[in-house]
């Protein structure tokens, strides 16, 4: 009897966590808030300083940074070749994003960029997340005018907003007042 209970409990737990793995389809369907293009950073300043990735190394082939003095933080995973920028829902002042039907947890506060576009999914994604990817409490701060490059992903900060780009011109932008992907 205990074995059956354990089996059903594990299956239920796996189903609960499966919300983390949901990758929504194309999110460029016009259902989202439109931002002034001037509020979305496009390039780092011409005099930006490339910082040493070792400063942001948190182990496990990951490099994490807080975004200026704002509530956003990002992590570049060098082994799996992606970057994730995230923030707590209550820190966002933009309109909530309508979640896809498949997402039963938080949506619109975690953005993911792959170095190389995986088969059948966008290189830049809004993820369905049931928790934080990383803990920002020990991360160093990447400031305005600094860039961090790990592998084929480069991130920079403008005030309290982060932008990460891959070499194929895909990008994610996240800050408390604005988001973008492309």
Q: What is the 3-state secondary structure (H, E, C) of the chain?
A: CHHHHHHHHHHHHHHHHHHHHCCCCCCCCCCCCCCCHHHCCCCCCCCCEECCHHHHEEECCEEEEEECCCCCEEEEECCCCEEEEECCHHHCCCCCCCCCCCCCCEEEEEEEEECCCCCCCCCEEEEEECCCCCCHHHCEEECCCEEEEECCEEEEEECCEEEEEECCCCEEEECCCCEEEC
The per-residue pLDDT for 50 is 97
Stretch 51-76: mean pLDDT, rounded? 97
Mean pLDDT of 55-65: 97
**pLDDT for res 30:** 54
- The whole-model pTM stands at 0.82
**Bridge-partner residues for 113, per DSSP?**
83, 124
pLDDT at 28: 46
- The pLDDT, as a whole number, for residue 33 is 86
Model confidence at 18: pLDDT above 70: no
* Mean pLDDT on 91-99: 93
Which has more confidence, 76 or 36?
76
> Is pLDDT of 25 > 60?
no
Q: Is the pLDDT of residue 130 over 50?
A: yes
Q: Between 106 and 151, where is the model more confident?
A: 151
């Amino acid at each position: 009897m205990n074995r059956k209970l354990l089996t059903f409990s594990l299956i239920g737990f796996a189903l609960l966590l499966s919300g983390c793995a949901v990758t929504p389809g194309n999110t460029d369907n016009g259902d989202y808030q439109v931002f002034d293009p001037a509020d979305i950073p496009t390039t780092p300043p011409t005099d930006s300083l490339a910082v040493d990735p070792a400063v942001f190394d948190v182990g496990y082939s990951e490099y994490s940074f807080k975004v200026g003095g704002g509530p956003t933080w990002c992590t570049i995973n060098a082994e799996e070749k992606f970057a994730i920028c995230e923030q707590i829902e209550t820190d966002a002042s933009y309109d909530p994003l309508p979640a896809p039907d498949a997402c039963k947890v938080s949506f619109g506060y975690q953005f993911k960029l792959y170095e190389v576009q995986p088969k059948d999914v966008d290189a830049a994604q809004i993820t369905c997340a049931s928790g934080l990817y990383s803990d920002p409490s020990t991360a160093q701060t990447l400031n305005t005018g600094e860039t961090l490059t790990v592998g084929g992903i480069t991130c920079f900060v403008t005030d309290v907003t982060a932008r990460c780009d891959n070499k194929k011109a895909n990008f994610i932008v996240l800050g408390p007042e604005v988001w973008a992907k492309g």
